[in-house]
A and B are shown apart, each in its own frame.
Chain A
């Protein structure tokens, strides 16, 4: 039969073949193992070596971590407990340094009866940022986002409430001037007025206004000077402030770099190149040591504010370059289509160009933010007590002299959680904004 079939061209199948189960090597866990771990002899050996290596590392690290001692007054104390529990010289972690210095690692030397204030500020921040991060939340809650920065400042530094209120009023004033003037004399005059009037107000009016209001209605919290700020609170304040401020500044610089207006173009290019071309640590020293020479005598500019400004400038230069890449990646047709529909420059940028350019730039922007957040640890070199600075201080005390790993693991884990969360958010956003196919 089969011979006949093999030699004839025409063929008719009379009965259909039944479906058969695939061989055992092609399904489920066995297939996965074969394909991913044991696809060849070399890979099999590497797999076994890797498993051994992972086991060996965990076998050493896990008992050290999990058997750690949480309750002790000092490193000496810790060692005594260890000797009693595990025998002389056993290797276990002494997490007690974290429980003992927990508040200090989180808040620095912030007054302990006011710890609710930074925690409140963090909650205000989360509530304020949520509607920006997740567009499914009601848009009305954005008004809280606008109030949040001033509320956070008030909670963290305290003092009279009229200071932040007077500053916030400047923004409202700028907006009012913009609306009024641009209706009467065009949007360019409106923009100039919206910048000049609030600056004049802040320079000459805001201070006396806040003082008068403070005398009339003394509402406020105890003032806490920046010198008392420290620990993760300090990293968060610098990191968050710089992230929030550097995005709009970076966008403005990227647009300025694209501008046809020579002066705007050249000043943006020089700003970006100069800021980017000098190490951050140099800018931080500039902020801490040199800046006072350039400011008018008598002005005492808060060091933390100076650091925030420098870090903001530094990361905005990077953000600008990342966004420039996004702008360059847009086809020219998008600009032309926006023009052809009669949209003016700002509307075209806001509605057509930037949403697309920012979407392309999300991974780069978040990457810059992650870098910025970790770079806040550099402030240790200008004497601010960030977690690294505090760990040095803690290790310098007689109680905890000689402890390393536990502190640095803790700091590393906290930074990792924040940076990993940012990275995951960028992936979520990229997925959400995909419009090519569903």
Chain B
């Protein structure tokens, strides 16, 4: 019962103007519902993301956090509700979806680089074929972002020759080459060795400092504390609690959040 109350109160965003970075809405999700078969994975999700916000989404596995961000670029289809990304409402129209996807970058848990292409080709592929940018320009942009993630010297190697951390940084650069206005991160460090997690997080922190709108599904609570201006806790397909990181970690409201935090911070 207390949980239900908490989840009723927590998403009330109107009374949290202090969390906004700007007034411009980047993503608007209203009463979104999704089912996998008869399994109700996302229940009445309401979420407004303002331009420049860094949001960390956490929660136990199976709580629907990955599914939530995958609905934003239509990798998963939601069945009920409204999703507006960057002023474009998600519909089943393919053109519409491709437009949104080219504006929203996504970084995956398993990097998903294209193994048959070099690092540089991975980065220039979408700009060349989706944005129709001339090759020279696309390569310059790619090198710019590869320098930004600190691996320009690997440009002519293949993904299979790089370490996990390097591959994930390439994946970030590949997304940035499309000059996205929003970046989604789906557990970007979960498949990495501990010493590689830092290099990827550093890249993400640098990106956040430049004002990129970011939605990050992660269990890296240090990252959340340092970078996020909002932390969302999900359980059983619903947003249970959201707050500024300071408040969220020091003074969690719902019992489930407390339990979750005690489990992941307790060791």
Contact = CB atoms under 8 A, between A and B. Distances in A.
Given A356-B115, A436-B160, A341 B108 contact: no
Contact of A337 (B94, B98, B99, B108): B108
A433 B112 contact: no
A435 interface: yes
Closest 3 CB pairs of A and B: A342-B102, A337-B112, A333-B112
A438 B160 CA distance: 10
A21 interface: no
B112 A342 contact: no
A356 B125 contact: no
A341 B130 contact: yes
B108 to A, nearest CB: 6
Interface string A401-438: 00000000000000000000000000000000101111
Contact of B116 (A333, A347, A356): A356
Which label, helix, strand, loop or mixed, suits the secondary structure of the A interface? helix
B123 to A, nearest CB: 10
A49 B147 CA distance: 66
Contact of B114 (A337, A340, A342, A438): A337
Interface in B101-128: 101-102, 104-106, 108, 110-116, 125-126
A331 B109 CA distance: 13
B39 interface: no
Contact of A435 (B99, B112, B160, B178): B160
A359 interface: yes
Interface residues of B, number: 29
Contacts of B125: 341, 343, 351-352
B8 interface: no
Contacts of A355: 116
Given A341-B130, A344-B94, 9 more contacts: A337-B106, A337-B108, A340-B73, A340-B106, A341-B101, A344-B98, A352-B114, A355-B116, A356-B116
The interface size bin for chain A is 20 to 34
Contact of B115 (A342, A343, A436): A436
Contacts of B116: 355-356, 359, 433, 435
A333 B108 contact: yes
A326 to B, nearest CB: 12
Given A347-B129, A433-B116, A437-B160, A342 B108 contact: no
Contacts of B249: none
A77 interface: no
Contacts of B115: 356, 435-436
A261 to B, nearest CB: 13
Interface in B136-173: 158-161
B75 interface: yes
A351 B111 CA distance: 18
A343 B112 contact: no
A435 B114 CA distance: 11
Contacts of B129: 343, 347, 351
A437 B104 CA distance: 32
A351 B158 CA distance: 16
B158 A435 contact: yes
Interface in A289-345: 331, 333-334, 336-337, 339-344
Which label, helix, strand, loop or mixed, suits the secondary structure of the B interface? mixed
Contacts of A336: 75, 108, 112
Interface in A341-387: 341-344, 347, 351-352, 355-356, 359
Nearest to B125: A351
Contact of B130 (A333, A342, A436): A342
A319 B199 CA distance: 44
Contacts of B111: 333
Contacts of B160: 435-437
Nearest to A337: B112
B86 to A, nearest CB: 13
9 contacts: A340-B73, A341-B130, A341-B175, A342-B98, A342-B99, A342-B101, A343-B98, A356-B114, A436-B115
B98 A340 contact: no
A333 B110 contact: yes
A438 B130 contact: no
B104 to A, nearest CB: 8
Nearest to B121: A351
A356 to B, nearest CB: 5
A355 B116 CA distance: 8
Contacts of B98: 342-344
Interface string B231-262: 00000000000000000000000000000000
B101 A334 contact: no
B102 A341 contact: yes
A359 B117 CA distance: 13
B16 to A, nearest CB: 30
A437 B161 contact: yes
B176 to A, nearest CB: 12
Contacts of B175: 340-341
Nearest to A358: B116
Contacts of A331: 110, 112
B80 to A, nearest CB: 21
A347 B130 CA distance: 9
A24 to B, nearest CB: 42
Nearest to B184: A340
Contacts of A356: 114-116
A259 to B, nearest CB: 14
Contacts of B114: 334, 337, 352, 356
Nearest to A433: B116
Interface string A92-111: 00000000000000000000
A343 B126 contact: yes
A161 B115 CA distance: 46
Contact of A438 (B73, B99, B161): B161
Contacts of A343: 98, 125-126, 129-130
A339 B160 CA distance: 21
Nearest to B158: A435
Contacts of A341: 101-102, 125-126, 130, 174-175, 178
